[in-house]
Structure 1
């Protein structure tokens, strides 16, 4: 039952936002009593934290699987972007922004765990790109890794990037292209433009 509640809450929070969905809404959708939910989760904050960490683990596992496919580093970044968008339902409700606004402590914990995960992934991706001649060999790995993380975090700010004006998909794709163009060699740019061309067909 614990897993079923997390799965349903995840689906509803991503569709309607952390703030909008109540424990009553989740209970009603599952056809169970609110009391049953409280047998597994002390309060809404407890459930939001469980959902957030469940999503983090799901996405982390997916990223590990993509990295194991041995794609070239630019293809890898685009595959990860597509996987994250799919799992966050294109973030139409800006869940990360809502998390930061209404559950700041959970958001802080999530950011810390994401930085640990993404820091390693991005630096490994950059190293691989340099080895394959796709990324410039004069880039500062630690600094670019932090730039990338800071950018990926900032584009989730719904006040800066209003999802009504800019879709999450458009923002993420534009940011990713911006990142890759900034660090690529001519060979890397050619790979990037081929990916963009294929995605637009």
Structure 2
């Protein structure tokens, strides 16, 4: 039952927002009593911690599977973006922004985990891209990996990028293109332009 509660809560939080969904809403949606939820989770904060862990693990496993396929470095970035956006329901409710605003401790813990995951993934991607001749040889991998992570976090700031002006799917697409154009060789730009035609 605990896993079912986490799965349903995750789905509802991503669709309606961490703040909007109450324990009553979740109980009603699942057709169970609130008491049943409270036997597994002391409060909503504990449930949110469990759902963010669940989502993080799912996304980490999915990214690992994409990386293992060893497709081209630029193609890999676009596959990861599509996978993450699908799992975050295109970020309609800006989950990261809501966590930061209403559950800052959970957000801080999650951000550290995201950074560690992304660092490994992005550094490997950049390194492979240089070896394959799609990224420039003179880029500073440590700097680029950190600036890329910082940008991903930064564009989710709704005060800076209001969602009614910058829909998240478009914002992520624009940011990824910006990232790749900044480091790509002629060969890399050709791959990017072909991918953009298909998008």
Q: Measure, in 2, the Cα distance between the counterparts of 1:164 and 1:192.
A: 27
Residue aligning to 1:101: 101
Deviation at 1:137, TM superposition (A): 0.5
Which residue pairs with 1:118 in the alignment?
Answer: 118
Give 1:118 shift. 0.2
How much does 1:146 deviate?
0.2
Take 1:114 and 1:97, find their aligned partners in 2: how far apart are those partners?
Answer: 14
In structure 2, the gaps of 5 or more residues are none
Moved over 4 A (4+): none
Classify the secondary structure of the residue corresponding to 1:71: coil
Aligned length: 199
Q: What's the counterpart of residue 195 of structure 1? A: 195
* 1:161 Cα deviation after fit: 1.4
Q: Distance in 1 between matches of 2:12 and 2:68?
A: 31
1:14 is the counterpart of 2:14: yes
**TM-score of the aligned structures, taking structure 2 as reference length:** 0.99
Q: Report the TM-score, using the length of structure 1 for normalisation.
A: 0.98
Question: What do you get for the CA RMSD once the two structures are aligned?
Answer: 0.5
Shift in Å, 1:97: 0.2
Alignment of 1:146-161 (within 5 A): 146-161=146-161
Inter-partner Cα distance in structure 1 for 2:105 and 2:194: 42
Q: Which residue of 2 aligns with 1:24?
A: 24
Which residue matches 1:184?
184
Aligned-partner Cα distance in 2 for 1:131–1:170: 30
Give distance in 2, aligned partners of 1:198 and 1:47: 39
* Unaligned ranges ≥5, structure 1: none
Question: Which structure 2 residues correspond to residues 47-58 of structure 1 after superposition, within 5 A?
Answer: 47-58=47-58
